[in-house]
Amino acid sequence: MTWEQLVFGGVFVIALGSSLAMLFMRNAVHVALYLVAAQIALALAFLLQGAFFIAAVQIIVYAGAIMVLFLFVIMLLGIDKREALIEPLPGQRTLAIGLGAVLAAEIVYVAWRGIDLAASPGAGSTALDQINRDPGNVQALARLLFSRYLLPFEATSILLIVAVVGVMVLARRLGSASRAAEHADENRKAA
């Protein structure tokens, strides 16, 4: 047993275990913390597969920024209390779990048929190692990003601007609503 198999075993158990634990935690904060654990385990899986830059970004952006945002909103809304177990649609939960099991069986069957599990990483893996060694992981990514994928890259910048403006509009509407309420108050006082 090599060290990589050991590390992968740990990653598998932690990632799958904490995503299963997410299902059973009734407190939203606990769900968020298990999601962080799963994401850090996935960052390790990325490292194991030679995606060094993506692993760092996974920790900085996902486990860092995005999850802090989630926890911030959970705390802001104060909905860290337990979730009710009542079902307005009868049988919806059992149906969802059944469908999930079918989906899992389906995907795993397809993966099993399509990919030889015992196959060694082979030529592709050595090619990737070569890329990681010669131009370097970050350099190779940057070259692709700013040449072949320049247009999608620019599109994401537009997407980010649209997201920022959209969030500001959503927040501003609240502001103008409270301002309208203030106006109504003043009018009532004047009248």
Partner 1 sequence: MNSVGPGYYLVLATLMFTVGVVGALVRRNAIVIFMFIELMLNAVNLAFVTFARMHGEIVGQVLVFFVLVVAAAEVVVGLAIILVIFRHRASANVDEMNLLKW
Does the protein bind partner 1 through residue 154 (CB under 8 A)? no
Residue of 90, 91, 116, 134 interacting with partner 1 (CB under 8 A): 116
Largest Cα separation within the chain, whole Å, is 83
What is the three-class DSSP state of 1?
Answer: coil
Q: Which is nearer to partner 1, 104 or 180 (CB)?
A: 104
Select the residue interacting with partner 1 from 171, 176, 189, 190 (CB under 8 A): 171
Round to whole Å and give the CA distance between 166 and 80.
26
Question: Residue from 10, 37, 56, 65 that binds partner 1 (CB under 8 A)?
Answer: 65
Is residue 181 involved in binding partner 1 (CB under 8 A)?
Answer: no
Work out whether 59 is an interface residue with partner 1 (CB under 8 A).
no
> Which residue has tokens 């997407």?
159
151 binds partner 1 (CB under 8 A): no
58 within 8 A of 42, measured Cβ to Cβ: yes
Report which of 107, 125, 104, 127 is spatially closest to residue 115, judged by C-alpha positions: 107
